[in-house]
Amino acid sequence: MAASITNCFLEWGLDTIFSITVDNASSNNVTVIEMSKQLNNWGANIMEGQHLHVRCMTHILNLIVQDGLKKIDKSVKRVRQSMKYVKQSAARVKKFKECCEYQMITCNKSLCLDVPTRWNSTYLMLEIAQHFELAFERFCFYDNGFLDYLRTSPCEDGTNAGAFTSEDWENVRAMIKFLKTFYDLTLKVSGSEYVTNSVHLVKIAELDLILKEMIENEDFHLRKIATNMREKFRKYWGDPKKMNKMIFISSVLDPRNKLEYVPFEIVDMFGKKIGNNGYGNFQRRDLMRTKQQFEKHKEISGGSSSKSELGKYLAEEIEPDSKNFDILGWWKINEPRFPILAEMARDVLAILISSVASE
């Protein structure tokens, strides 16, 4: 694999590689080691390859959620089997549409199956299914084989889903709220047309907060899921010393964070235990409390001053956070004031643009 990648670099005329983003397959660890050796031979292994290997954040998110959903709720299995049954024949689809019309369901979305190993597809399946709750209830009376299928046809794990219960759709809606948080987070860090590298630390901190809140939740099922996910989270992001330092450097080069956010968040994540309560606190993440806490900390502590370019950059107030903030545009505008840092920012922050594009 390393040889194939090297040949691509030669074909593309790339002789300087800062980092390679890959998923967590063990073969990729070997590949990156071999790539580092080849870059050494070229005399182009920047910083001796210390930051060459970047683990794909979206892949880690997938592993974390999948670990929490290994013992997936029976209600979700029933929805999956119901989707499968209806979509198996055109006659069933027609009958189901008639049930929708009778119940005056106006949703234009189509029923879809998920891929059990892809939790984001499970989220999309459930999000659509909830609109057809009444249609599925009526379908039970108009198709004699539907309930038999749920009771007797084995799921992927060999068990039977069983017939719907009175609590199933309530469970489904709770699962949708839970998965939506991670779905939105994945979308934010997997963009290919904008810089995502600088927000990775913020998003890791958000996930840490979400899991801590869920562990303290009064819902036993959610607590159990969160505990499993927390264990997987700590495997990859449980020790700042083992995390790729580019995550921290790119955060410092984000004028919305600068130097103080990194140590603040490290202490917040690893230096103390945060207590939470109340269901649903983890659902709203437009402006995460991790950033709000940092801004409050900034107001109290103030900034430092220095005559160096870096010192001047760090001493200035942080930029307000917003959805449309263009970090590369900010550095372009401020390049006359910070020429060295601007060049560094372009190199570091552009890493994930090319990395994601090649994923």
What's the mean pLDDT in 310-328? 87
**Rounded distance, CA 85 to CA 350, Å?**
47
pTM recorded for the entire structure: 0.69
**Which neighbouring-strand residues pair with 45?**
17
pLDDT at residue 136, rounded to an integer: 94
Is pLDDT above 70 for 121?
A: yes
**pLDDT tier, 124 (very low <50, low <70, confident <90, very high otherwise):** very high
Q: What DSSP state is assigned to residue 337?
A: T
**Rounded distance, CA 181 to CA 357, Å?**
24
> What does the pLDDT look like over 170-203, one tens digit per residue?
888 888 887 888 888 888 777 767 777 788 888 8
Q: What DSSP state is assigned to residue 143?
A: -
Closest to 226 in 3D by CA, of 279, 271, 272: 279
DSSP string, 86-136: HHT-HHHHHHHHHHHHHTT----PPP----TT-HHHHHHHHHHHGGGHHHH
What's the mean pLDDT in 125-132? 94
